[in-house]
Chain A
Amino acid sequence: MTYLAKPRLHHPKLPANKLGYTRRDYEGTVSTLCAGCGHDSISAAIVQACFELDLPPHRIAKLSGIGCSSKTPTYFLGNSHGFNSVHGRMPSVLTGANLANRELVYMGVSGDGDSASIGFGQFAHAIRRGVNMVYVVMNNGVYGLTKGQFSATADKGSKSKRGVMNVDESVDMVGVALLLGATFVARSFSGDKEQLVPLLEAAILHEGAAFIDVISPCVAFNNHEGSTKSFDYVREHNEAVNRLDFMPPRAEITTQYEPGAVSEVVQHDGSVIRLRKLADDYDPHDRIAAMTYMQERQAAGEVVTGLLYVDPQPEDLHRNLNTVPVPLNQLGERELVPGAAALEQLNASLR
């Protein structure tokens, strides 16, 4: 693989957002993933979400681990700093970055191998700590770069391309995220942009640990019959509990809905998530009920998608550590170095 530059030729009539940026300003280099890879659709959804939210591209930091999914930060947000770290360790690097500067938007991009196997611990602990981030797992149930081994999210009983049956239990990342206190938990499908883009937007403006599990079929190694992560399988078994429209703070709300069919979630920053209910009995404010619902549906073979849980007033790591509002990386010597006089006092107390 070599570096591929994208032609800088712009369409003259590309629409611009409020900041005057076009969608191209949120794109990265040309993808080197396989044609038709679900991950590319997720990258495109991230581009669209950031464009629609009018985010200054340089105020986003994108971090990843290792694997096909972790390569994608090269393919979106080319004007943002990116960090392709080591396998399974994106969560800790992101946590550190977040501690250093609380003002940026942190986008953690990972895969099922990166987060459910080698990085399972780091995934769990970053969620536990409530790091303010969007944690996207591009979940295809398979190791792509090493050519087709099962990952830990592959369903028990699903078949590999070579016909081998997976006999291990699968890791349900949504279940784990719910259990460990993520304050925004969603699942989506790379083939459903209408659902994914507003989920990403809501997650970006969510001021806590937001986790999105995106089923993203691997066209090269996991898109065959017998796979439970193929395009066909997910389309057939996708059971969305809700559809959503996302309105950033102060946006004019124009769409009309039938009464009783929608509920609104107002997040801490004033943004509004308008949920159109699809499952009558589903309440995304009830963590315990959400866990039960997910387990029941999963046992019935369904892939539940949508906004599964949200706490509109989340806590986050900085709040829990009671850090100053100014980013730590901007504190100057006056705020950091106590000086000679203070040290002399300390010396005196040590004699």
Chain B
Amino acid sequence: MSQPTTKASVNDFVVKFANVNGSGSASANNLFAKSILRMGIPVACRNIFPSNIQGLPTWYEVRVSEAGWLGRRGGVDLMVAMNPQTWDKDVASIDSGGYLFYDSSKPLPASKFRDDVTVIGMPITEICNKAYTDARQRQLFKNILYIGALSALLGIDPIEVEKLIGEEFRAKEKLIVPNVKAFLLGRDWAVANLADVDMRLKLERSGKVGDRIFIDGNSAAALGAIYGGATVCAWYPITPSTSVAEAYARYCKKLRTDPETGKARYAIVQAEDELASIGIVIGAGWNGARAFTCTSGPGISLMQEFLGLAYFAEIPSVVMNVQRGGPSTGMPTRTQQADILACAYASHGDTKHVLLFPQDPHESFEMSATAFDLADRLQTPVFLMLDLDIGMNDWVTQPLTWDDSRHLDRGKVMTREELDAGKEFGRYLDVDNDGIPYRTYPGTHPTRGAYFTRGTTKDRYARYSEEGPIYVDNMQRLLQKFETAKALVPRPVRTDAERQTQFGVIFFGSTAPAMAEALEGLREQDIHVNTLRLRAFPFDNDVDDFIADHAQVFVIEQNRDGQMRMLLVNECGVDPTKLISVLNYDGTPITARFITREIAEKVGVLKPIPLKKKVAR
């Protein structure tokens, strides 16, 4: 094989592991990523897994980036090909000049390799079979063995790996020694046998991670619910949201158990389905507890009727939607941002809902806590729009922060004292002219403040009425309330290019890190764009202004139909031709290369009329 040539790349490459699901590779691959992180080098990890327990292909992609790019770059520099099922595709996906690492225990014909890729064979099965007699160990230690070899090839500090193994098995100490032994077995073999491989992907200790933490968005959102004062969680298992409820349970046990009595300051119900989950949330919200459910697309579909009730009867509730590929069962273990419209206008009749779009786990925590304040303040459902990429992958993210002077905003709740003092109570009376009425918790006062909650139309005093003007009055107030929400939700973040430009880019959610890297790629091609990262719906005026400021605005999304673009067209009343969709919806997280290429191509084609000329006409 001819030797391909590429320049050395220190702390900047992509490693992809191709494994078989259920073979124990996940923890080994995680060990690989974390050891690099411990060397102070930022990594971005993405687990690409099937809806399956055992046997189907699964991949783990580790982006190593000294520069701190945390999105997917696209392409692969080193493929660790451990799955014969996907061999051909995996080999084909390696960038020219890259590396292929594989188990060479069984010989493969030359046709199975590529000339422009450096091939590194290691007889992993053979070594394992020689070293171990137990079948399970033979399988499991294969993974640790290749981590050992990679550590030698790439320059991972073995001390970091050994420390991590110690931490991992703190509770099962007798597993530490065999795992370290397997790691060193692989490492030593590589040192002895792979010394002449021309490895130009190198790791060097750095200090670029700083005080950042490594956490998945679902865990961060669960912690946000605890800090946001949520006491009731009702849920139904569904990928990729299940780990929100599991993390909430785990953290509650630690943070919400009464230290004296051992009793729980929270209640978690695994409901019979998503309908019951949201029903429980609405019942608890009605009764003055902060409550949430976590779900994904199919669950959102099932919750539609109840969401309309919560909107119309004005009951605080928080729905964490960890989006996956739709429609129907769709791609249950792949990522998309495809529930925007289903959530923004959830349920029959005229409805609009508050949506929050966190960009990473740090913001998932922050916005999760905020969601409960907004739900109480606005007395309406609030959606935390996560996705599988943020939710289920470990991200390097800013530490979670909490200001102890921050207070929970319980919204407009009339107290027994106020009722005693003769304050007028009408459940749907707009006293403050912001569309938000006062409510009472059940059981507040013996003779005042009780009302009947219903999904039917009612007057300002919660009395049933089908009178047209009364119905319209209520619906208009709900619109006004939504206007009020604009000032309360997180504002979008605008970042202007160093040079003046007529191009704008709107993006949101998990696209953020790939977008950040794409901007650099575009700058290198002398393409300059201003960006606006949406953080919530309803959109405030900053969004209208941003669109007005540019001749063309690219809207980057991870769905087929450009749902955010539709929402922008619908809600901001902009000329649809001004908004150009850039869409990635194959189920894998969007890459920087994809965004760069799409925008560069489109900018080349568009050649817009300069703004000034347009104004002059």
Chain A residues within CB distance 8 Å of chain B: 1-3, 56-59, 61, 63, 73-74, 78-86, 89, 91-101, 103-104, 121-122, 124-125, 129, 317-318, 321-325, 328-329, 331, 333, 335-340, 342-344, 346-347, 350-351
Residues in A with CB closer than 8 Å to B463 are 3
Cα separation A63 to B447 with both chains bound (whole Å): 19
Distance A125 CA – B400 CA, assembled complex (angstroms): 37
Contact call A99/B443, Cβ cutoff below 8 A = no
Q: What are 7 A-B pairs at a CB distance below 8 A? A: A58-B446, A86-B309, A96-B282, A99-B280, A321-B268, A324-B265, A338-B255
Bound-state CA distance A322–B262 (Å) is: 8
CB pair B286 A337 closer than 8 Å: no
Closest to A81 in B: B442
In the complex, B269 has a CB within 8 A of chain A = yes
Whether A83 and B404, one on each chain, are in contact in the complex, defined by CB atoms closer than 8 angstroms, is no
Q: Does B520 contact A (CB under 8 A)?
A: no
- How far does the alpha carbon of A328 sit from the alpha carbon of B232 in the complex, in Å? 8
Alpha-carbon distance between A285 and B393 when the two chains are bound, in angstroms: 53
Cα A58 to Cα B273 in complex, Å, equals 31
Is B156 in the interface zone, CB < 8 Å from A?
no
List of B residues within 8 angstroms of A58 by Cβ: 442-447, 450
Across the interface, do B401 and A95 meet the contact criterion of CB distance under 8 Å? Answer: no
From B214, B255, B271, B456, A84 is in contact (CB under 8 Å) with B456
CB of B265 within 8 A of CB of A56, answer no
Of the candidates B263, B291, B440, the one whose C-beta lies within 8 Å of that of A323 is: B263
Among the 9-residue stretches B197-205, B222-230, B319-327, B380-388, the one with 4 or more Cβ atoms under 8 Å from chain A is: B222-230
Closest Cβ of chain A to B415, distance in Å, is 12
Known A-B contacts A323-B267, A336-B408; A347 and B261 likewise in contact (beta carbons under 8 Å): no
Assembly CA distance A73 to B227 (angstroms): 37
Which residues of chain A come closer than 8 Å to B278, judged between CB atoms? 92
Size bracket of the B interface = 35 or more
Indicate if B471 sits at the interface (CB-CB under 8 A).
no
CB distance from B100 to the nearest CB of A (A): 33
Contacts of B194 in A (CB 8 A): none
Docked-complex contact A338 and B226, CB < 8 angstroms: yes
Decide if A337 touches B229 in the complex (CB within 8 Å): yes
Q: Is the Cβ of A322 less than 8 Å from the Cβ of B264?
A: yes
For B272, the chain A residues whose CB sits under 8 A away are 121-122, 124-125
Interface string of B283-310 (1 = CB under 8 A from A): 1111111010000000000000110010
Cβ B283 vs Cβ A94 within 8 A? yes
Q: A336-B229, A342-B255, A347-B399 are in contact. Are A104 and B442 (CB under 8 A)?
A: yes
What is the CA–CA distance of A65 and B123 in the complex, to the nearest angstrom?
A: 66
Q: Tell me the smallest distance from the CB of B609 to a CB of chain A, in Å.
A: 50
The residues of A that contact B289 with a CB separation of less than 8 Å are 96, 99-101, 328-329
Question: Closest residue to B455 on the A side, CB-wise?
Answer: A86
Chain B nearest CB from A89 CB (Å) reads 5
A58 to B234, CA, bound (A): 27
CB of B404 within 8 A of CB of A339, answer yes
Q: Distance in Å from the Cβ of A343 to the closest Cβ of chain B?
A: 5
Chain B, 177-230, CB within 8 A of any chain A CB: 209, 211-215, 223, 226-227, 229
How far apart are the CA atoms of A181 and B264 in the complex, in Å? 24
Known A-B contacts: A104-B442, A321-B264. Give 8 more (CB < 8 A). A61-B442, A92-B280, A322-B262, A329-B287, A338-B226, A339-B402, A343-B401, A350-B214
The answer to whether B446 and A57 have CB atoms under 8 Å apart is yes
B407 on the A face (CB < 8 A): yes
Q: Which residues of B are found within 8 Å of A97, using beta-carbon distances?
A: 283-284, 286-287, 442
Q: Are A100 and B291 in contact (CB under 8 A)?
A: yes
Cross-chain contact A333 with B287 (CB below 8 angstroms) = no
* Chain A residues whose C-beta falls within 8 Å of the C-beta of B399 in the assembled complex: 344, 347
Q: Does B465 contact A (CB under 8 A)?
A: yes
Chain A contacts of B261 at CB under 8 A? 324
The listed residue (A86, A89, A340) touching B404 by CB distance below 8 A is: A340
Task: Determine whether the beta carbon of A85 is less than 8 Å from that of B309.
Answer: yes
Minimum Cβ distance to chain A for residue B592 (Å): 25
Question: Chain B, 588-613, contact with A by CB distance < 8 Å: what is the 0/1 string?
Answer: 00000000000000000000000000
Chain B residues lying within 8 Å of A342, measured Cβ to Cβ, are 255
- Assess whether B287 is in contact with A95, with CB atoms less than 8 Å apart: no
Point out the residue from A2, A78, A121, A340 that lies within 8 Å of B450, measured CB to CB.
A78
Complex CA gap A129/B466 in Å reads 37
CA distance A2 to B441 in the complex (A): 26
Taken together as a complex, chains A and B put the C-alpha atoms of A338 and B252 apart, in Å, by 10
B338 close to chain A: CB less than 8 A: no
Q: Is the CB of B269 within 8 A of A346?
A: no
- Interface assignment of B258: CB less than 8 Å from any CB of chain A: yes
Residues of B454-472 at the interface with A, using a CB-CB cut-off of 8 Å, are: 454-456, 463-466
With A and B bound together, what is the CA distance between A124 and B441 in angstroms? 28
Do residues A89 and B464 form an inter-chain contact, with CB atoms below 8 A? no
Q: Which residues of B from 525 to 558 have beta carbons under 8 Å from A?
A: none
A122 neighbours in B (Cβ, 8 Å): 272, 275-276, 279
- In the complex where A89-B306, A329-B441 touch, is A83 in contact with B229 (Cβ < 8 A)? no
Q: Does B281 contact A (CB under 8 A)?
A: yes
**Residue from A2, A73, A329 with most neighbouring chain B CB atoms (10 Å):** A329
**Nearest chain A CB to B71 CB, angstrom units:** 20
Knowing A95-B279, A328-B266 touch, does A1 contact B227 (C-beta < 8 A)? no
Determine the chain A residues whose CB is within 8 A of the CB of B404 once the complex forms: 339-340
Q: Which residues of B contact A337 (CB under 8 A)?
A: 226-227, 229, 402, 408
Contact yes or no, B407 A333, CB < 8 A: yes
Q: Are B227 and A59 in contact (CB under 8 A)?
A: no
B451 in the interface, Cβ–Cβ < 8 Å?
yes
Closest-by-CB residue of A relative to B279 is A92
- Which residues of A sit under 8 angstroms from B212, Cβ to Cβ? 351
In the assembled complex, the Cα of A202 lies from the Cα of B213 at a distance in Å of 56
Contact A335–B265 (Cβ < 8 Å): yes
State the CA gap A50–B453 with chains docked (Å).
21
Find out whether the CB atom of A81 lies under 8 angstroms from the CB atom of B443. yes
B31, chain A: closest CB distance, angstroms: 15
Q: Give A329 to B230 CA distance when docked, in angstroms.
A: 10
Q: Which residues of B contact A346 (CB under 8 A)?
A: 223, 400
Cβ distance A65 to chain B, nearest Cβ, rounded Å: 10
Complex Cα spacing A56 to B447, Å: 10
Q: Is B432 an interface residue (CB 8 A)?
A: no
Verify B283–A95 contact, CB threshold 8 A.
yes
CB nearest neighbor in B for A121:
B272
CB distance from B582 to the nearest CB of A (A): 33
Instruction: Decide if A351 touches B214 in the complex (CB within 8 Å).
Output: yes
- Selected from B231, B276, B447, B453, the residue in CB contact (under 8 A) with A336 is B231
Flag whether B256 is at the interface (Cβ < 8 A): yes
* CB–CB A340/B276 < 8 A: no
CB-nearest residue of chain A to B308: A86
Query: Which one of B231, B262, B465 lies within 8 Å of A331 (CB-CB)?
Result: B231
**With A and B bound together, what is the CA distance between A328 and B269 in angstroms?**
14
- Give bound CA distance, A92 to B455, whole Å: 15
On chain A, the residues within 8 Å of B277 by CB distance are 92
What's the nearest-Cβ distance from chain B to residue A258, in Å? 43
Min distance, Cβ A6 to any Cβ of chain B, angstroms? 13
Q: For the complex, what is the distance from the CA of A321 to the CA of B256, rounded to whole Å?
A: 13
- Whether B267 contacts A101 by the Cβ 8 Å rule is no
CA distance A3 to B282 in the complex (A): 25
- Bound together, the chains give a CA A313 to CA B61 distance in angstroms of 56
Q: Are B229 and A333 in contact (CB under 8 A)?
A: yes
Q: Do A89 and B213 touch across chains, with their CB atoms under 8 A apart?
A: no
Bound complex: CA A96 to CA B292 (Å): 11
Among B264, B283, B400, B401, the residue within 8 A (CB) of A96 is B283
